[in-house]
Chain A
Amino acid sequence: MSEHYPVLIVIIPFIFALIVAFAGFIKPRLCCFLTISALILSLYSSIILLFQVFKTGCIEYRLSGWSPPWGICYNIDYLNSIIIVVVMIVGLMCAISSQKAVNRDLDQKKGAFYALFLLFITGLTGILATGDLFNLYVLLEITSISGYALIGTGNNKAAFASLKYLFMGTIGASFYLLGIGYLYISTGSLNMADIAAIIPELQQSKTIMFAFIFCMTGLFIKMGMFPMHGWLPNAYSDSHSATSTLVASLTTKVMLYVMIRLILNVFLPDYSFSKLNIDNIMVWFATVVIICGSFLALSQKNLKYMLSYIIITEVGYIAGGFWLGNRLGMTGAILHILNDALMTMCLFLSSANFIYVLKNDSFKNFKDIFLKMPFSAAGFVIGGASIIGVPPTCGFFSKWYLLSAAQEAGHYEFFSALIFSSLICCILFFRIIEQGFFSEDDHENNVTKFNEAPVSMIIPLGITVLLLIAAGIYSGDIITNFIDHAIPDIIT
């Protein structure tokens, strides 16, 4: 059985999604329990997979038993095994935290909600594990379609935001498909490793260059890079808080992973960095993304909108750090994918708690939040500290790598953009914390009651805070055991 874990991580949530959809019509109370048990099972198998990779190196799994260029294969290696674990953790925490809010808001449609929730996780895990470009597209569409539906169930603006996301997402996915078509027309293959073996012979081909451009355009739209970010803030803020936690913390990171995967394992760093020679432009581009994202975040009046713009700046961090092209930058970028998924989850979980109690996420309502909801507010502060980069939390370590990489590569504009956005994040979070601690009202006249969110929403937040600190403390181990092996040796 042990050799089947690569497929089990995808199949368990998938099968359970079908069962949950079925159970939604027969016994709706079971849905949440089934979802959580599915995610616990797949988290367990993903952890076992992580240890297998740690012991034996990369694992190849042949689906339908056909050898790679003709059939589809799964490649679990040092890069994706650890991201899969993070995805499963985020999914599990979101599922536990969402049950109260979902019970309250989506009573009879719980089955469909949790089925789509599990399909979303299935799609993301499949994207991470697959070694076939077209299989990646199909799973991308599963993720997107369940994402559109989950986002569409929010407040009254959510359907419109979701339709905008659908247009942009479909354009992005179609450009990615067009890029695969260009690769297919010039190499005749769809398997990542097979294409990587053919591409060095075709370095002069214009078709490969345009394949690269179209794939990257599609992924940039999907990950919300700055000029194409229009869909992101509305989609993440208008949606139901149970979905926005899941979608916001995972979608952009997995798309960034796909970008890294395509550059490292399909087009190869030699072609992407030396031949195309666009790394300087991309770093400048990321600098602009970070600065614009920070300013836009500063101008928001609602918590979730602010967090959405922070996600855009984080996308800039990771993309820019990766395109620096040196070993430190790539290490920082991959570490930041892991950390950022946890940080964003922490912030969105606490914002979900605020919304569950306060029914609104405007900054006006955050007066005396530390008296009313001490645990959620503490979680929020630690998440914010991690985004800013305060040492014991994990955000500090990845940011440190990114900063030293920028300094090593001589990209001082990226260096200063990182410092600048950290300062802006300080302002953003202290503005809210100040509201929470020192409100102008008299405390004695209207005593604020202790009104904390339910325990099932506090526990995931607490676990996430612990994970944030643990990921910070063990970041050295993660780098030496996994990320160092994931980056090819030619990058220094």
Chain B
Amino acid sequence: MKIIGIITILLSGSIMIYSTLDFPEWGDPLSPANTHLSVYYIENSMPDTSVPNIVTAILADYRSYDTMFETTVIFAAGLACFLLLRNFRKKKKEYSLYRHIPTGVTLKIKNSADLADDTKLFQRIDSTWVPFDLVTRTASGLIVPFIQIFALYVIAHGHHSPGGGFQGGVIFGAAFILFAISYSLRESLKIISEKTAVILSCVGVMIYAGTGLLCLLFGSNFLNYGSLAQILFTDPVSARSLAILFVEIGVGLAVAGVMIWLYYNISSSGKYNQGL
């Protein structure tokens, strides 16, 4: 198999390097790619949409339909992980493990069916040795709110600086994943349950698609934000800018929700127990 691999990649690699010979030189401002479509975007994105960040303007307005399906791709990935991994069957265990929080002693209790999962003094765990690290918990607990604020900044400031819905959503999800890693999956499920994560992602994609449908209702083409000026009480250009913010919020919600959902499913192989 290794020899086949080497032969394949040598053949196709030489073909591919040969194929680059006709390319325009790297960084040439006069190459067709840099002179055909992009000039229009650079010159007109400000008068068309009043968004200084050209990437955001193209992403959420000129090619907004792509972006809607990009959000759908990540939503489909969340659904796919759920469909493949989620395990609703609960194995009946003979015993379950609890940790006494003040002392850190692990208790093994038989016939524990009618005991609550967590009380103030006891915490349910799944393996005999689960480290309890005060330093990580405290430190990540301190960091998480700042990361979340930064995520909100990245979403809201996508018009003026690099950033936007995806990046902000991923950062928001990452903050929560940090919490889930340093605490445990059970505790994070109490804050954002599986249902909440799903609803968050559904609503996020729904905001995007709903904005598009709203444009249909106002008589223009799908996702043509200009027609939203009637309900936003502005001119069409600033309506586009506002609608882009709206859409970015939807994308952020969807991505954050899906990231959390993906983490839940993959880290616990769908069992939703203690996790990593």
Contact = CB atoms under 8 A, between A and B. Distances in A.
Contacts of B79: 21, 112, 115-116, 119, 146, 149
A159 interface: yes
Given A25-B198, A207-B22, A188 B34 contact: yes
Given A11-B209, A22-B199, A138-B69, A152 B84 contact: yes
B83 A113 contact: yes
A149 B83 contact: yes
Contacts of B216: 4, 7
Nearest to B36: A188
B245 to A, nearest CB: 16
Interface residues of A, number: 55
B40 A70 contact: yes
Contacts of A112: 79-80, 82-83, 86
B221 A188 contact: no
Interface string A121-141: 010001000000011001101
Contacts of A22: 198-199, 202
Contacts of B76: 116, 119, 142, 145-146, 149
A480 interface: no
Interface in B141-178: none
Contacts, number: 157
Nearest to A116: B79
A63 B198 contact: no
B272 interface: no
Contacts of A7: 216, 221-222
A142 B84 contact: no
Interface in A62-115: 62-66, 69-72, 106, 108-109, 112-113, 115
B72 A135 contact: no
A282 interface: no
A309 B82 CA distance: 31
Given A141-B73, A152-B83, A15 B209 contact: yes
A373 interface: no
A487 B261 CA distance: 47
A130 B18 CA distance: 32
Contact of A188 (B16, B35, B61, B202): B35
A37 interface: no
A135 B15 CA distance: 27
Contacts of A21: 75, 79, 198, 202
Contacts of B100: none
B82 A64 contact: no
A231 interface: no
A370 interface: no
Contacts of B40: 70
A66 B62 contact: yes
Nearest to A135: B66
B250 to A, nearest CB: 12
Range of interface residues on B (Cβ < 8 Å): 35 or more
A205 to B, nearest CB: 6
A84 B199 CA distance: 31
Contacts of A182: 19
B206 interface: yes
B213 interface: yes
A189 interface: yes
B37 A71 contact: no
A62 B221 contact: yes
B59 to A, nearest CB: 11
A61 interface: yes
Nearest to A190: B37
A18 B222 contact: no
Interface stretch (B91-99, B114-122, B223-231): B223-231
A298 to B, nearest CB: 27
B61 A64 contact: yes
Nearest to A207: B22
Interface in B165-215: 195, 198-199, 202, 205-206, 209, 212-213
A18 B201 CA distance: 9
Nearest to A126: B69
Contacts of B36: 69, 187-189
A14 B75 CA distance: 12
A188 B33 contact: yes
A14 B37 CA distance: 30
A132 B71 CA distance: 18
B220 interface: yes
B83 A138 contact: no
B72 A142 contact: yes
B24 interface: yes
A323 to B, nearest CB: 21
B77 interface: yes
A109 B83 contact: yes
A106 B82 CA distance: 12
A112 B82 CA distance: 7
Contacts of A152: 80, 83-84
Nearest to A3: B221
B64 interface: yes
B129 interface: no
A437 interface: no
A135 B209 CA distance: 16
B19 A65 contact: no
Contacts of B64: 63-64
B70 interface: yes
Interface string B28-39: 000111111110
Interface of A: 4, 7, 11, 14-15, 18, 21-22, 25, 61-66, 69-72, 106, 108-109, 112-113, 115-116, 119, 122, 126, 134-135, 138-139, 141-142, 145-146, 148-150, 152-153, 159, 182, 184-190, 205-207, 210
11 contacts: A18-B206, A64-B61, A65-B223, A109-B83, A112-B83, A116-B79, A134-B63, A139-B69, A149-B83, A152-B80, A186-B22
Interface of B: 15-16, 18-19, 21-24, 31-38, 40-41, 61-66, 69-70, 72-73, 75-77, 79-84, 86, 88, 195, 198-199, 202, 205-206, 209, 212-213, 216, 220-226
Given A149-B84, A210-B19, 9 more contacts: A7-B221, A14-B72, A21-B202, A112-B79, A116-B83, A134-B66, A138-B70, A186-B32, A207-B22
Q: Across the A-B interface, give the 6 residue pairs with the lowest CB-CB distance, nearest first.
A: A188-B36, A149-B80, A65-B224, A210-B19, A188-B32, A206-B22
